[in-house]
Amino acid sequence: MQFSKSTDYALHALIHLTLSEKDGHIGIKELAHTLGVSVSYLSKIMSKLRQDGIVRAVPGVNGGYELARPADEITFLEVIQVIEGREQLFECSNLHSQQHQLLSEEMAEVHLPKHRGSECLVKKVMDGAEEQLHQYLRQHTIQAVVDQALNRQHGFTSKK
Amino acid sequence: MQFSKSTDYALHALIHLTLSEKDGHIGIKELAHTLGVSVSYLSKIMSKLRQDGIVRAVPGVNGGYELARPADEITFLEVIQVIEGREQLFECSNLHSQQHQLLSEEMAEVHLPKHRGSECLVKKVMDGAEEQLHQYLRQHTIQAVVDQALNRQHGFTSKK
DNA sequence: TCTATTATGGATATCAAGTATCTACAATGT
DNA sequence: ACATTGTAGATACTTGATATCCATAATAGA
Ligand code: SF4
Ligand code: SF4
């Protein structure tokens, strides 16, 4: 249960793009060098970000990447979901077990009979956990992190 | 980013143990059959739970497993950590990159120079997310899930 | 238009982890 | 002793993450 390194790279790449926004397009070479990862590998990650409309890519001379939207509209959750996929944290793998019959029949009676897809409390707890995590990650944007970093630095240098 | 199936099985096994607490020891065969998974595989999972003091095992005739502590002291977080391990959700893999130099130097100045292990805001956000998740999972126990299931069933049958 | 530059997508290789099973061994109660 | 039951190690299979290479397509600028 860990985020993949790709997610790590994606986040760092986006931060670099945000910091260099005024410089126009950023080449994959520069990005890869800054992050310390191979160009070929990073391309794959950037492609995903592009396909999901988080960055724009421009081929050709002086081409490269730029953010497709303001950094304060790019949340951690989005980036993570693009790279990691959107599968649920907890997938029932016991749906045909005796136990599931027990726990879900108990549940089924409570709600309307129509509500077939009703799940037991185990799943409900786990889904709650996921929602909790998502809420938190939705509240944090790339811009916020960059801002805080710059503010702190600024606060320090101006004090000295 | 998903919990492994082992975690799923572990949770369900513990629920079965809780429901059958009065019946004394529960054999691995019964457990495996209830969950619909092979005995050999489930043994591995139960072993982990035993090593971490969540269940007790008794070999020999009429042996089997039982909870080592009351079910209301067994949290989802514990179970998950036993099975999934205790690695952090987010591990920095860019610690030697140019970017890390940038972001962490900015940070370093703010805190006392002694505080070497200071990390940037990216990591702080991700660690916050993990803590958020852990808090939630700490608040939910096996007993709570079982109780709710039984209460609901009871509430239903007594009404009808 | 031609060319150098740059991203794209497919194929592929490698490695680690999760899933799953089997077997020899040790501990227990009768 | 003896049948029962869990333990631990070895092993095989599958999947996903990581990483690279190359042929192709798109673009800007000469
Ligand atoms: S978690 Fe609940 S719904 Fe999912 S398989 Fe287990 S008993 Fe069924
Ligand atoms: S997340 Fe922050 S501390 Fe971690 S590698 Fe990236 S810049 Fe460094």
Burial label for A151, CB within 10 Å (0-12, 13-18, 19+), is exposed
Structure confidence by residue, pLDDT tens digits, B107-132: 555 554 444 455 688 889 999 999 99
Expressed in percent and rounded to 5, the helix, strand and coil fractions of chain B are: 60, 5, 30
Consecutive H or E run containing A41: helix A39-51
Q: Which of A125, A142, A143, A147 to mutate to test the interface with B (most CBs of B within 10 A)?
A: A125
Distance from the CA of B155 to the center of ligand 2, in angstroms?
52
For ligand 2, atom 2: residue with the closest CA: B120
Q: Which pLDDT score is estimated for B112?
A: 46
E-strand ranges in chain A read: 55-58, 64-67
The pLDDT of residue B93 is 81
Give pLDDT tens digits for B47-71: 999 999 999 999 989 899 999 999 9
Q: Are strands A64-67 and A55-58 parallel, antiparallel or unpaired?
A: antiparallel
Residue with tokens 């126009």: A24
The C-alpha angle with vertex A139 and arms to A3 and B80, in degrees rounded to 5, equals 40
Angle between the N-to-C axes of helices B28-35 and B39-51, in degrees from 0 to 180, rounded to the nearest 10? 110
Please determine, looking at this structure, whether the domain spanning B1-71 carries the CATH number 3.30.390.30.
no
d(CA B84, CA B81): 5
Q: A52-90: per-residue pLDDT in tens? A: 999 999 998 889 999 999 999 999 999 999 999 988 999
- Residue–nucleotide distance: A136 CA to D23 C1' (Å): 43
Q: Is residue A120 within 8 Å of A103, Cβ to Cβ?
A: yes
**Separation in Å: C5 C1' and A61 CA:** 5
Looking at residues A106-124, what average pLDDT do you find? 62
Minimal Cβ distance to A129: which of B2, B12, B136? B136
pLDDT given for residue A109 in this prediction: 56
Q: What is the pLDDT of residues B17-50, one digit of tens each?
A: 999 988 889 999 999 999 989 999 999 999 999 9
Residues 96-155 of A with CB under 7 A from strand C: none
Q: Can you tell me the mean pLDDT for A25-39?
A: 91
Q: How far is B92 from chain A (nearest CA, A)?
A: 7
> What angle, 0 to 180 degrees and rounded to 10, lies between the N-to-C axes of helices A76-84 and B121-138?
80
Separate counts of helices (H) and strands (E) for chain A: 7, 2
Domain spans of chain B, in order of start: 1-71, 75-140
The answer to whether the CB of B16 is under 6 A from ligand 2 is no
Q: Which residue of B has its CA nearest to A104?
A: B149
* Statement: the CB of B63 is under 7 Å from strand C: yes
Count, residues in chain A: 160
Nearest bound ligand to CA B107? Answer: 2
- Rounded to 5 degrees, φ, ψ at A57 are -120, 140
Q: From the CA of A98, how many Å to the C1' of C24?
A: 32
